[in-house]
Amino acid sequence: METNNLNADREKIALRLKEARMQSGLSQAQAADKLGLQRPAISEIESGRRKVSAEELIQFANLYKVDTSWLLLKESDENDNSTEQLRFAARELGKLNPEDIQRVLDLLKILPK
């Protein structure tokens, strides 16, 4: 029974790693290059077939700009969607130049509350 729970957790962590990579706009090859891994290692990790060390989780979190606690399933499921949407929005806003950020802020001011 315990093994099934560990496998389920590994699969959830794998999905979060994949989601974070995709939201970061990186391919598996790009992530592997930045982390000093081979691309198949990223594929194995994201499929849940390869365990991830604590050091690797920290590297993934830093690269993808997510909290390690989120990768480790420590946040409650209720907050996951809204928290992740906010993180995604912040990452995307961070890619904009100041003029475009101001345009987005101006748009937000006119939207109904």
CATH assignment at residue 21: 1.10.260.40
Number of domains in the chain: 2
* Contact of 94 with 39, CB cutoff 8 Å: no
Q: How confident is the model at residue 13 (pLDDT cuts 50, 70, 90)?
A: very high
Same domain, 23 and 59: yes
Q: Are 17 and 69 members of one domain? A: yes
Q: How many helices (H) and strands (E) does the chain have?
A: 7, 0
- Give me the percent of the chain exceeding a pLDDT of 90: 46
Q: How confident is the model at residue 112 (pLDDT cuts 50, 70, 90)?
A: confident
Q: Model confidence at 2, in pLDDT bands (50, 70, 90)?
A: low
* Gap between the Cα atoms of 87 and 75, Å rounded: 14
- Nearest 10 degrees: CA dihedral of 68, 71, 72, 73? 130
Domain range for 26: 1-74
In tens, the pLDDT along 73-103 reads 886 555 556 777 777 788 888 888 989 888 8
**Mean of per-residue pLDDT scores for the chain:** 86
Report d(CA 9, CA 7) in Å as an integer.
Answer: 5
